[in-house]
């Protein structure tokens, strides 16, 4: 096996390195900068070039251990050819292609195939074995078109603004927040951000991604124009003191989970917008098909049904037990779904 799971992560023995390890190791290749994939304490990190600043910021004191490589440019380690390819998940997200003695494996990381102007679109990479995430690997998950979702978001914002209510739109501060920002119609009103979102958005701007003008909503400023504003913030601030400064407001949550009514209701926000940075069921099947892989190892999601479906369709498939948790906003929903 070219790649296998150990207690530290996805181990590539011939290259002597780990992909997205969840414990400190000497050498790590990283799919993207979300916290369940990029952990502290490794000796060396290799990331795709557009995600360098994100990884460095996230690692703080360990930022100087990050090295980068352009998409598609191979690096050879102990005779193993390694290259990173766009995953379309967030800025700098990559699939990891590993080639050794003619055998090719691809690790998808998190990915989506829907359009997103804030990152390089996903590309299929031919391989023998495909390790794929399946966060939304059930046929109930079929995304509405991105354009339609943004029409709904802007209409919701416009209606709130007309009634003098601030619009609180929650999404994970890295990736989801910037995708939301890119789809907003700035003519409706001011766009405010939470500190965590503002920091990440600055890094997107530095990377040359077009972002609308945003104002970091600090504690000591308050402005009457805020009643027409949209506020992009991580979901953890909901119901807390931070959001009170905006006065009368409506709250919405943007996530793939919002497709299902039960999850919307458990979230307890006024609206749920179905906007995901993962593939839905048809996209997952199409992506698997496009890799031409004969063996598929689903992880990170509904592995049971996906494995069974693939086997019934003539592929070799096994669930791979990893410790990637899904984005924190998604995980937060998982938690409420699992708890009482």
Kindly list the residues in this chain that would bind other proteins in the complex (CB under 8 A): 138-142, 259-262, 264, 268, 270-271, 302, 304-305, 308-309, 312, 337-338, 340
Considering the complex, what minimum distance in angstroms separates the CB of residue 55 from Zn ion?
Answer: 13
Is residue 170 close enough to count as binding Zn ion by CB under 5 A? no
The option from other proteins, Zn ion, none interacting with 110 (CB < 5 to 8 A, set by class) reads Zn ion
Of the ranges 78-86, 107-115, 210-218, 310-318, which one interacts with Zn ion (CB under 5 A)?
Answer: 107-115
Classify strands 191-193 and 215-216 as parallel, antiparallel or unpaired.
Answer: parallel
Query: Which one, 42 or 134, has the nearer CB to Zn ion?
Result: 134
The option from other proteins, Zn ion, none interacting with 209 (CB < 5 to 8 A, set by class) reads none
Query: Which one, 220 or 312, has the nearer CB to other proteins?
Result: 312
Query: Which one, 66 or 263, has the nearer CB to other proteins?
Result: 263
Tell me, residue by residue from 1 to 40, as one string, x for binding to Zn ion by CB under 5 A and - for no binding.
Answer: ---------------------------------x-x----
**If you count them, how many residues does the chain have?**
340
Is residue 198 close enough to count as binding Zn ion by CB under 5 A? no
Query: Which one, 131 or 259, has the nearer CB to other proteins?
Result: 259
Is residue 58 close enough to count as binding Zn ion by CB under 5 A? no
The option from Zn ion, other proteins, none interacting with 77 (CB < 5 to 8 A, set by class) reads none
Query: Which one, 172 or 226, has the nearer CB to Zn ion?
Result: 172
For the chain, the distance separating the N- and C-terminal CA atoms, rounded to the nearest angstrom, is 41
The option from other proteins, Zn ion, none interacting with 212 (CB < 5 to 8 A, set by class) reads none
CA–CA distances in Å: residue 158 to residues 155, 185, 230: 5, 9, 9
Query: Which one, 26 or 337, has the nearer CB to other proteins?
Result: 337
Is residue 116 close enough to count as binding Zn ion by CB under 5 A? no
Considering the complex, what minimum distance in angstroms separates the CB of residue 110 from Zn ion?
Answer: 4
Considering the complex, what minimum distance in angstroms separates the CB of residue 312 from other proteins?
Answer: 7
- Among residues 206, 218, 9, the alpha carbon closest in space to that of 91 is found at 206
The option from Zn ion, other proteins, none interacting with 324 (CB < 5 to 8 A, set by class) reads Zn ion
Considering the complex, what minimum distance in angstroms separates the CB of residue 53 from Zn ion?
Answer: 17
Query: Which one, 83 or 283, has the nearer CB to other proteins?
Result: 283
Query: Three-state SS string across the chain, please?
Result: CCCEECCCCEEECCCCEEECCCCCCCEEECCCCCCCCCCCCCCEEEEEHHHHHHHHHHHHHHHHHEEEECCCCCEEECCEEEEEEECCCCCCCEEEEEEECCEEEEECCCCCCCCCCCCCCCCCCCCCEEEEEECCCCCCCCCCCHHHHHHHHHHHHHHHHHCCCEEEEECCCCCHHHHHHHHCCCCCCCEEECHHHHHHHHHHHHCCCCCCCCEECCCCCCCHHHHHCEEEECHHHCCCHHHHCCCCEEEEEECHHHHCHHHHHHHCCCEEECCCCCCCHHHHHHHHHHHCCCEEEEEEECHHHHHHHHHHCCCEECCCCCCCCCCHHHHHHHHHHHCC
Query: Which one, 141 or 204, has the nearer CB to other proteins?
Result: 141
Residues that bind Zn ion (CB under 5 A): 34, 36, 110, 324
């Amino acid at each position: 096996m070219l790649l296998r799971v150990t207690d530290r992560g996805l181990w590539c023995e011939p290259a002597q390195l780990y992909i997205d390890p969840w414990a400190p190791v000497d050498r790590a290749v990283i799919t993207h900068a979300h916290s369940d994939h990029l952990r502290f304490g490794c000796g060396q990190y290799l990331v795709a070039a557009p995600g360098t600043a994100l990884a460095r910021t996230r690692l703080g004191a360990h930022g100087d251990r990050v090295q980068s490589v352009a998409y598609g440019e191979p690096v050879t380690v102990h005779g193993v050819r390694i290259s990173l390819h766009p995953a379309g998940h967030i800025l700098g997200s990559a699939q990891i292609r590993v080639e050794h003695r003619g055998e090719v494996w691809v690790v998808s990381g998190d990915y989506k195939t829907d359009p997103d102007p804030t990152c390089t679109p996903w590309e299929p990479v031919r391989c023998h074995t495909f390790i794929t995430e399946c966060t939304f690997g059930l046929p109930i998950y079929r995304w509405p078109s991105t354009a339609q979702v943004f029409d709904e978001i802007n209409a919701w914002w416009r209606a709130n603004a007309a009634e003098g209510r601030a619009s609180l739109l929650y999404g994970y501060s890295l990736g989801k927040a910037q995708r939301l920002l890119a789809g907003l119609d700035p003519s409706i009103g001011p766009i405010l951000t939470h500190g965590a979102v503002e920091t990440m958005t600055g890094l997107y701007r530095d990377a040359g991604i077009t972002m609308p003008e945003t104002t970091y909503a600090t504690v000591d400023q308050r402005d009457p124009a805020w009643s027409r504003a949209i506020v992009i913030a991580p979901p953890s601030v909901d119901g807390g003191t931070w959001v009170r400064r905006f006065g009368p407001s409506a709250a919405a949550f943007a996530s793939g989970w919002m497709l299902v009514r039960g999850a919307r209701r458990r979230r307890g926000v006024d609206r749920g917008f179905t906007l995901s940075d993962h593939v839905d069921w048809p996209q997952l099947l199409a992506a698997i098909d496009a890799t031409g892989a004969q063996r598929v190892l689903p992880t990170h999601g509904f592995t049971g049904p996906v494995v069974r479906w693939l086997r019934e369709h003539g592929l070799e498939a096994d669930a791979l037990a990893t410790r990637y948790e899904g984005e924190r906003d998604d995980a937060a929903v998982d938690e409420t779904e699992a708890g009482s």
